[in-house]
Structure 1
């Protein structure tokens, strides 16, 4: 039994913005609560310390106005025992007679305060309870030789209760303020995102157009996205144009051999004599080979017209090893064609940045073009030299009939063939060379040979990638 497919929730820009706002605000609210509690506790301590000092002073005045015996007056005792929870403590100690009243266990200050000074505040402990105490030292009224130390103390509970009440009120107000602010942010984000509506409408109104979508109404924050989309549209337009050009070129180049095939098939069917059929089959074979070569050339041209090589395709290539090996593989073919094919140039490493398959296609097309148009009995020489700037110069020269000087600039055009060349071809070989060279940021130079023939020179820029030999 298969489980139902759970649809993943799409990311929301509005929800993402709110999350990025809520989390920092919650952290700030927590930090503010801690700071508020600290401030409230400090304020409560100051108020209670002042009240505690006032109680000690008031008790000292009451004792100074009454005749002190072994018992406190009812008014003084009422003042000290007002707390029904029993969290207030006091003690009255005589310098001569000791404890006169209060809690005997209440810890005293480690020293006697100055006589007649303001109350001294200090922290102490009683039965594991933290206390805050105030002590004052006064002279006994009816006994000039005696003095009294009056201590009033209380627990810290009321201070913390008051600080928590202040914190609760402040937190409630700040929470309401943050919620109101988030509501305003939600409203603002919702309204602000409406600026994308014209862009959305413009995209929805298009059918098959790949024109740029960036415009003056696109916000600055969205421009990186629209520019990326425009770049993608540009690459798609180039690919579609390349596709259309390939179809047009294929239709243009394959129409002639296909028409010839049809004519020779009809001729063989109309005249079944062996010599007619043999001649028709020979023409059919030649036209088939021409169509196959044209198709291969068209595919090679399409690959060569792709975008420039990126960092993934580029790599260090040792032309000093690769070019002689590639020429050696064409020797047997050149012998069958009656062409003297040779190599002259460097044998030591010479590196460029590029794609090995593309560079070999370039060399093959140069050799094919030279062998085809130079003809039997000709000489084709492949040369490789290092350039003064650190790059490489690859050249292929033949001693064939060559081309008129005024036609040299047109050799890089697609489907161009000299009118008096006498050889069948697609006119794509040198166009492929030109496109591959452009992808490698290389320069192609066409010139006439020293005596006659054609020389094609390709100048590659110096290598940037680390030059490493074969592993």
Structure 2
């Protein structure tokens, strides 16, 4: 069976009321003990007085002290409407002068003249209160004493104890009840801000991700509300990313899809096989463009800030990695008669990077360079080191980017006016976002020979990347 759901109100009430109940039980036990002591104190004096009265009936005879207590006098002395009393008298020599044989001898302190001693005994199967006291029986000789014990059942004492405890308990129960009402009210009143917060969230539309008003949120709950606001902000960012991606995809896919439909309609209505083949070739080119656009859109979504999957940083030899990717672009460069070259230092150049994202970065830079360079031009991929940084640069022979446009080329869907090369304007935006994920910076400037552009990515030292990822 599953555990019960935690309830804050129930936990608070239990935590506050349980000690009150425990205190009531403890106070009742202490009250009973105190009341019992008070009852004993009140009736022990009377019991001691009865012992003194019994001692007055002891007289000195020819052979020692004797008890002169008639049955009528004993009945008058020991009569009580609530309890039964019994007595017994001993001489200092231990001789029993009279009284209840079942009453056990109780020495006050082991010697005559000691103070009275009070204790409990069992008499005929019933608990009794007993006083034992050495008392003088001859006024002319105070040293002559007898040990007098008087026992009494506990009816009066128990009744007085119950009356005292009942009066105390009644007041305590009223106080506890008032405290419980106050605790319940305080808990309910204290939880109202939470309930109001819950109602405010329940009334919200799924599209309302605005921050919660913290003006009336208790200080203890404010960290939770602040975390909810932070979550709202993250959700809003993620939804903005998603909505922007959907809008970008819809905008970018609409034109090529419409072109594909038009070419398919043209091919379906064309009787000439040669023209059909030409239309199919155009369809293939358009499909390639569409495929590349979809891949770029997916890459853009994968590397978008706020929608980034975990960056899997690992040691990568930048020089070997860039050389491998450059070789993959050689066939496409040859088709346009572009001289694709590579320059390295001839030694490992390690960086901490996500291999998949680093591949997207280099592919987009080389693709941009090959796409915008004129036929017969030159593209150079170079890896170098400077001041602990690892530097990747790609030079092309394309149209020079004006200084005022060098920042904007990294914006999504931005294309230079007058450019004839086919593109979506996403490649450099993807490069910029991947560089940011790796803590790298990217710059664009004129190439060294004055023709074309040089895109340079500065990767930080491996230790810095590791600290940023930690």
Common fold: TM-score over 0.5: yes
User: Is 1:133–1:153's contact at 8 Å kept on the other side of the alignment?
Assistant: yes
Q: SS in structure 2 opposite 1:464?
A: helix
C-alpha displacement of 1:112: 4.1
TM-score of the pair, normalised by structure 2 = 0.77
Separation of aligned partners in 2, 1:91 and 1:286: 128
Q: 2:428 aligned to 423, 426, 430, which one?
A: 430
Q: 2:92 aligned to 70, 90, 95, which one?
A: 95
Q: Unmatched 5+ residue regions in structure 1? A: 1-7
Separation of aligned partners in 1, 2:325 and 2:196: 62
Q: Residues 466, 407 of structure 1: CA spacing in aligned structure 2 closer, same or farther, 3 A cutoff? A: closer
Q: Residues 305, 135 of structure 1: CA spacing in aligned structure 2 closer, same or farther, 3 A cutoff? A: same
C-alpha displacement of 1:290: 1.0
Bigger drift between 449-458 and 404-413 goes to 449-458
How many residue pairs get matched?
Answer: 450
* Matched residue, 1:28: 23
User: Is 1:334–1:371's contact at 8 Å kept on the other side of the alignment?
Assistant: no
CA deviation profile, 1:47-79 (whole Å, cap 9, x unmatched): 34444444434444x337999744424435543
Separation of aligned partners in 2, 1:280 and 1:97: 139
Q: SS in structure 2 opposite 1:214?
A: coil
User: Is 2:385–2:391's contact at 8 Å kept on the other side of the alignment?
Assistant: yes
* Matched residue, 1:5: none
* Matched residue, 1:334: 330
User: Is 1:304–1:435's contact at 8 Å kept on the other side of the alignment?
Assistant: yes
Bigger drift between 45-54 and 235-244 goes to 45-54
2:269 corresponds to 1:288? no
User: Is 2:132–2:147's contact at 8 Å kept on the other side of the alignment?
Assistant: yes
C-alpha displacement of 1:303: 2.2
* Matched residue, 1:443: 441
C-alpha displacement of 1:300: 1.6
* Matched residue, 1:149: 147
Matches within 5 A, 1:62-461: 62-63=56-57, 69-73=66-70, 74-76=72-74, 78-80=76-78, 82=80, 86=84, 88-95=85-92, 98-104=95-101, 105-109=103-107, 111-115=109-113, 118-121=115-118, 132-141=129-138, 144=141, 146-154=144-152, 159=157, 162-187=160-185, 189-190=187-188, 200=199, 204=203, 208-220=207-219, 222-265=221-264, 267-268=266-267, 272-307=271-306, 313-314=310-311, 316-320=313-317, 324-325=320-321, 327-328=323-324, 331-338=327-334, 339-341=340-342, 344=345, 347=348, 350-351=351-352, 357-374=356-373, 378-381=378-381, 383=383, 385=385, 388=388, 393-401=390-398, 403-419=401-417, 422-451=420-449, 453-460=453-460, 461=464
User: Is 1:412–1:430's contact at 8 Å kept on the other side of the alignment?
Assistant: yes
Separation of aligned partners in 2, 1:226 and 1:189: 20
* Matched residue, 1:4: none
Q: Residues 271, 181 of structure 1: CA spacing in aligned structure 2 closer, same or farther, 3 A cutoff? A: same
C-alpha displacement of 1:289: 1.0
2:32 corresponds to 1:37? yes
User: Is 2:59–2:68's contact at 8 Å kept on the other side of the alignment?
Assistant: no
Separation of aligned partners in 1, 2:299 and 2:192: 49
Q: Residues 138, 233 of structure 1: CA spacing in aligned structure 2 closer, same or farther, 3 A cutoff? A: closer
User: Is 2:365–2:431's contact at 8 Å kept on the other side of the alignment?
Assistant: yes
CA deviation profile, 1:267-296 (whole Å, cap 9, x unmatched): 545654344333332222212111111122
CA deviation profile, 1:138-193 (whole Å, cap 9, x unmatched): 33318848431222344667656654554444344433433343334445555665
User: Is 1:403–1:454's contact at 8 Å kept on the other side of the alignment?
Assistant: no
User: Is 1:350–1:386's contact at 8 Å kept on the other side of the alignment?
Assistant: no
User: Is 2:89–2:96's contact at 8 Å kept on the other side of the alignment?
Assistant: yes
Q: Residues 258, 315 of structure 1: CA spacing in aligned structure 2 closer, same or farther, 3 A cutoff? A: closer
Q: Residues 13, 110 of structure 1: CA spacing in aligned structure 2 closer, same or farther, 3 A cutoff? A: closer
User: Is 1:92–1:102's contact at 8 Å kept on the other side of the alignment?
Assistant: yes
Q: Unmatched 5+ residue regions in structure 2? A: 335-339
Q: Residues 266, 24 of structure 1: CA spacing in aligned structure 2 closer, same or farther, 3 A cutoff? A: same
Q: Residues 26, 331 of structure 1: CA spacing in aligned structure 2 closer, same or farther, 3 A cutoff? A: farther
User: Is 2:432–2:442's contact at 8 Å kept on the other side of the alignment?
Assistant: yes
Q: SS in structure 1 opposite 2:455?
A: strand
